Structure 1
Amino acid sequence: MFSSPATWDPRFPSNSGFLSRFYGIADNHARDLGLLRHSLSNGWSCRARGFGHGWQVISESIDRVFLLNPITQSEISLPSLAMLPSIEGWAMIDGVVIILKAVITSHPTLLENGDDCIVVAIVSLFECANQRFISEGPRNMRRDPLEKLVFCKVGDQKWTVIQDNQEREFIDLAYCNGFLYAWGQSSEALVFCKLGPSPKVTQISLKPEYFKASRYSQLIESCGDLLCVMWSFDRNNEVLGFIIARLEQNNKKWSNVNCLGEHSLFLGDECSISLLTSEHPGLKKNCIYFITSFMELRVGIFSLTDCSIEYLSFDTEVPTSVLQLWITPSLW
């Protein structure tokens, strides 16, 4: 059927309600990648919350969280959010705990690392009268400003809460070289921790000075490096370009990145990935692929070589409400 999952190009969902059809940028075609008809249309809280290694983190309800392979339809259960340990300052009565974003550290089913697969997530508490949250979403709900980082290994019965001496709102997270990194929104501080029995975050760096004027930046692991990518917009919300910084591990300082070499980045709200383009025919090297949905859905390619932007055309209509999520399909 398919020779190898390594040859599959990155794709994004072409239907926001059902994770069954994905649009490929290399072949410019929307394709049904399997028999899956898993509906995410039951409410705002039921949606993909992250992606990694061919699997998606799906938060269907407070009691049903799982990993999903959209190709094979395989599911791996994760602990219920109702099983979160007691968190100081959180009142669970009349509230719903939501996964805001999640990352997967390794492939969950391959023998050499499946037992080490960890799911890390940002969780937040929403207060909701009469439990209307599931159907109405967060617009009529009050979100508790206190957010927490939690993780579990595949097979665990409960989530582990990462201890933090400060109250934070997190805007992004990434896993790199055995460490979890996360942006704290108000302080614009980068925190990290080693995942283990008694994890605790440590603040190590502030956002680069030239990034602080940006309203949108993302963390991404690439070739063992932690990168921060800043979006630049004009007054009409048109993308002007991107700036990349790398966290130097020896001094925890940021340095500029002007070239990605043979790699390219793929930026999305739910997940960002880095790929070696020589393993994915049809992709351009040293570029940033991005999705925007202001007024209309657009997929663009920013070249770090000449700072140009090319927007892709589609051979079929793609809904503007698609999830801004890149996946690299896996057959296992």
Structure 2
Amino acid sequence: MPVPQHIFDPPFNIVRCSHVVLDVTNLNASREFYENTVGLHVEDRDDNAVYLRGSEEHQHHSVVLRKAAVAACNRIGFKVGNEQDLDKAAAFFSENGIAYAFTERPFQGRTLQATDPFGFQIELYATMEKRPHLLRRYDLYKGCHPQRLDHFNIFAAEVQDTVDFYARLGFRLTEYGEEDGPNGRIAAAWMHRKGNVHDLAITNGKGPRLHHFAFWVPTAMNILHLCDVMASSGYLKNIERGPGRHGISNAFFLYVRDPDGHRLELYTSDYFTGDHDHEPLRWSLKDPRRQTLWGAPAPRSWFEQGSPFSGQAIREPQFVADVTIAD
């Protein structure tokens, strides 16, 4: 299938991925996991929501936990360049028949919420309250010392159309997995706005669902330390995959599940992609190094389970990719 061309003058300027809003069924259990086990910092909380961030982030929050009856992904958030970009985004959505609305969100400036053509619920903002930098507050470090939100990965039923849509918004392809042969279809794509491997990965599967969100950590040793922490604090069964090194992105990784099953990746050591002529890297779906550079395949849950978007019907994928799954 066609690889999208880079677009350097998109209809509005998305700077980077910013935050995720998760619906959780037990707010206290989720806060305990993200604050004391993973190591995110709680900035604000009330009876209905908890706001957390990484130690490198100046913004008020990058994770919002919302008390709800059913676990789901409520929104994925992106930061845009300025207030005018919000108006440009609204005009683009209107011209393309995409449902949108301006809304007020706690600790954020004017926020534009939309549901893209494939059911993914996003929100855009230009300004958020700032908080003091915690990077050098080593006395506050817990868990794996998460620094900043790095990316989202979504399950898309119409993977090629979804890739093409986000390419129109200026997301640039860095790596992709494709079937072999002259009519091979793209089964997964990694796309960025901020000059690393990805802000948004799009994976073929039942969708719309959130596959995972990821936090950058300083070193591989932080990820190994989190394994020790989880194994000794009652979360051993929440370790789903890894630790290991991806072929795609080159990153060292660990996938864990929170008390509601939302998937979080801890991630480090990918590479720079900011040059305008950076060419995407193709991977065969049959290359065992694609999933893990060392050749170990992912478990079945990694291909089949994800967080639904609140209120969105889940559709079967247009095709089923032939991938290697661990026994």
TM, length-normalised to structure 2: 0.28
TM, length-normalised to structure 1: 0.28
